[in-house]
Structure 1
């Protein structure tokens, strides 16, 4: 009997030692959370439409003044980055004021503006943190926070992720007002995927994805921003690149994206390289007036879910999500209404990139 106990103890010790020697499980979405802040004037609440990578992660929204909100994501404190998108048809844009860890929580301050003026608004917000090594899942995924926008060359900013393990570098052309975020790695060398960007900082600014394209060393995503204050310098921004992965890096659940590249067409199917839906389906877009679009989402989709949107091009225009409707058990499974505006807030036709996720 003693010999049997000794054998069990030895096996247990050896097994434990082997397990401790193994590398941590690779994961491209270690911490994530999203929410739809749909009560634009409520003092404090927990959004009904929210989800996270763990059940102990919960988000609450506090309105601190007109157009100013504090999002507290309990249990999610980590060196990740957020993305925010305004929801509403009134030409309001939302941006990140600042964000960071607050103990075991993540605090994200969001400000929304109509031009230069603070304005209450609904918004979607996603926060994500990925830890190397990557899982090796198909596609490519990366994000970066440009907290030094005046640097002409910024190698490996502190808040970044590259699913290939390669560098993330940012190059700034002050004369053109264009930044290029380069994700190094073979998996990034394609014309597919989607890119989202959010401006960040204490003064109003809007950012666009000028374009993204393959590079011999990886992929380049170009950003153009417009500070709305003449006294403000180049704004900070956060950016996420995804190819065959969701906006939070997770591959579980349902996710998709598209680039709307025919802004005056009454109805069309966007380029399949940048039109990703579950089960090999393709999304469609209809246009009902200047800058007014509806995206038809095909494939499985359910609540809770999140949607993000960025205008594309070398433009000072911007786009809002007006709202979305789920249609369970039918196709299309969801309808997302969008309005795009010129720099003055007048509805105008524009290219845009859209990404959604339903875990």
Structure 2
């Protein structure tokens, strides 16, 4: 009989404070983030300027007009119109039932538009095999102090250490350390954002303009001064490899950093479930249950409204990685993720260990 673990989280005092903040701070989104967008690229081989799934895309300007154009095999140019910036972060998650992955190739402003180039690969052993794939993609940029509950921070880490882009809600300096701690290993320090618990959610995406890479969370260590996150990156055969990467931490806020809107979001960390890292903005049920050797079925209750977004990232050392097997569905207000799917570096099923985050746009 399949193990089923259900978290029923009644509204706590913390949640009550969050609800009060919804009523008292309707302009929170105007401060953080400045601009954001998300989309589901639903057609693996799209025509040029293809309008991505209109039921699963949105932007901070409230115009769902994000498009994608194919480039070379497996590479896509995603255009988020009218939200260009120079200090953002991007994430991408492949959506497929076989061992493959997607990474950020590059992102940059093009006039008023924000471009995110995505590269996808399929597993074929030692041979590098770019391939077409569906995927979820998001971009967000922030500045200034955080308004409302929870916290939010991000970095784009350099392959040699240091940061290209960074946001800290307290104006403190996020750091990325690499030298002397091993190939493909990075220590990210986010000062001021920790409660001392493993709560909130992390998302990590590899970024490389020349080579296949996968990055994941190896460990996260909360402390009084901030949050330490160990990131490990690998090449297509699972060997440790240096890489740029994008990392976002969010607690009691959406994955793109906003609050009110959205009022509806939820997330979990599989290895800490149930616990403080499993959170629903409305204090409702979260379900996480095995669905196969490398599959985990997830439900987020009472947060599935309008257009929404999901990101997944793998957890724990080792070259395994996790994606979405299928795109999520809404059943009433229940978000159904069937399933998170995880693979070894050799393309074989492995036990799912992951972070997952869902955010509505309302």
- TM-score, length basis structure 2: 0.83
Inter-CA distance 200–177: structure 2 relative to 1 (3 Å threshold): closer
Counterpart check, 1:46 vs 2:51: yes
Moved more, 271-280 or 94-103: 271-280
| Contact 1:62–1:69 under 8 Å retained in 2 | yes
Displacement of 1:277 in angstroms is 1.1
Task: Specify the alignment match of 1:290 in structure 2.
Answer: 293
Inter-CA distance 292–167: structure 2 relative to 1 (3 Å threshold): same
Instruction: Structure 2: give runs of 5+ residues left out of the alignment.
Output: 1-27
Moved more, 240-249 or 275-284: 275-284
Displacement of 1:182 in angstroms is 0.7
Residue by residue, what CA displacement relative to the aligned partner does 1:168-192 show, whole Å, maximum 9, x if unpaired? 0112243364211111115554320
Q: Figure out how many residues of one structure are paired with residues of the other and give that number.
A: 321
Moved more, 165-174 or 194-203: 165-174
Q: How does 1:52-67 map to 2 (within 5 A)?
A: 52-56=59-63, 58-67=65-74
Task: Specify the alignment match of 2:11 in structure 1.
Answer: none
Q: What secondary structure, in the 3-state scheme, does the structure 1 residue paired with 2:146 have?
A: coil
Greater RCO structure (CA 8 Å; 6+ sep): 2
Counterpart check, 1:241 vs 2:272: no
- Return the match for 1:27 from 10, 27, 31: 31
Inter-CA distance 66–169: structure 2 relative to 1 (3 Å threshold): same
Taking the aligned partners of 2:359 and 2:286, their CA distance within structure 1 comes to 14
Displacement of 1:133 in angstroms is 2.4
Taking the aligned partners of 1:230 and 1:336, their CA distance within structure 2 comes to 26
| Contact 2:201–2:251 under 8 Å retained in 1 | yes
Taking the aligned partners of 2:313 and 2:278, their CA distance within structure 1 comes to 15
Runs of 4+ in 1 over 6 A off after TM superposition: 229-232
Compute the RMSD of aligned alpha carbons. 2.2
Q: How does 1:1-359 map to 2 (within 5 A)?
A: 27-44=31-48, 45-47=50-52, 48=54, 49-56=56-63, 58-79=65-86, 80-115=88-123, 116-135=128-147, 137-147=148-158, 149-151=159-161, 154=162, 157-172=163-178, 173-175=180-182, 177-185=184-192, 187=194, 189-201=196-208, 202-228=210-236, 234-251=242-259, 252-253=261-262, 254-261=264-271, 270-323=273-326, 324-329=328-333, 332-359=334-361
Displacement of 1:278 in angstroms is 2.6
Inter-CA distance 339–26: structure 2 relative to 1 (3 Å threshold): closer
Displacement of 1:306 in angstroms is 0.8
| Contact 2:172–2:192 under 8 Å retained in 1 | yes
Moved more, 343-352 or 241-250: 343-352
Which is richer in strand?
Answer: 1
Inter-CA distance 300–344: structure 2 relative to 1 (3 Å threshold): same
Residue by residue, what CA displacement relative to the aligned partner does 1:108-130 show, whole Å, maximum 9, x if unpaired? 11000013201110000010011
Displacement of 1:90 in angstroms is 1.1
Displacement of 1:343 in angstroms is 0.7
Moved more, 83-92 or 207-216: 207-216
Instruction: Structure 1: give runs of 5+ residues left out of the alignment.
Output: 1-23, 263-269
| Contact 1:203–1:229 under 8 Å retained in 2 | no
Taking the aligned partners of 1:203 and 1:358, their CA distance within structure 2 comes to 33
- TM-score, length basis structure 1: 0.84
Q: What secondary structure, in the 3-state scheme, does the structure 2 residue paired with 1:308 have?
A: strand
Taking the aligned partners of 2:345 and 2:63, their CA distance within structure 1 comes to 41
